[in-house]
Amino acid sequence: MIHDFGIPAFRNKFDVVPGRYISTWYKPNKVGKYHIFCDQYCGQGHSQMVGSVYVMEQPDYDAWLDGLRKTDGRIGDGTPAAQGRQLFLKLQCITCHNNVYDSDKSNANSSNRAPNLEGLFMSKVPLTGGGTVVADDNYIRESIRDPMAKVHDGWKPIMPPYPQGKVSAEELNMLVAYIKSLQPGDLPRRTDQFPAPVGAPTTPTEGGSNK
């Protein structure tokens, strides 16, 4: 099945092939809202494969971006990367991929289980058995779906695979967006709590108290 990413006003389209991740860029010269269409008749859902691209003046864009930021400077819940962060904690990726190892010396043996993923995107990764690979979208995806396919040299192949049943295609997109966003110091500590679901009570309930 082939789709096609097209923005008629920008006079351009790209084939969208499952399993291939590429980027495109534009230098727009006119503020406005433009249609995105699937430009390849692809089946039943074809007419729903639409979207919009907004071209804004820099100050408007900055204001929009600021609106997404929370008080701690992080981009808020709506973005794929922010949702990926929640998943990363929920799926316990953090038990192996963590930033700061327990300062508690009794736990020293459990440290350094997995590579730190900060700054991974587009870096060169040496592989067990020789050779290197550029950590692009395809590599990050494959590393999650099928960690044995390419093993980062020097690490034990202990990562479990995350097939469809555990991580849906959409969740995989979020995890990849999160990993791509990671800069040095961004990974939460292993002991960080994963965020409570939206709408959950902010104070603990009284269960368990005998008073």
Q: CB under 5 to 8 A by kind: which of ligand HEC, Cu ion, none does 49 bind?
A: Cu ion
| 14-33 residues near ligand HEC, rule: CB under 6 A | none
Task: Return the residues of window 162-191 that contact ligand HEC according to CB under 6 A.
Answer: 162, 175, 179
Q: How far apart are CA 25 and CA 4, in angstroms?
A: 15
Which of Cu ion, ligand HEC, none does residue 120 bind (CB under 5 to 8 Å by kind)? Answer: ligand HEC
Closer of 49 and 87 to Cu ion (Cβ): 49
Residue 98's binding partner among ligand HEC, Cu ion, none (Cβ under 5 to 8 angstroms by kind) is none
Q: Is 157 a residue that touches ligand HEC (CB under 6 A)?
A: yes
Smallest distance from ligand HEC to CB 103, Å? 21
C-beta of 176: minimal distance to Cu ion in Å?
21
- Which of the ranges 10-18, 29-37, 55-63, 146-154 carries the binding residues for ligand HEC, by CB under 6 A? 146-154
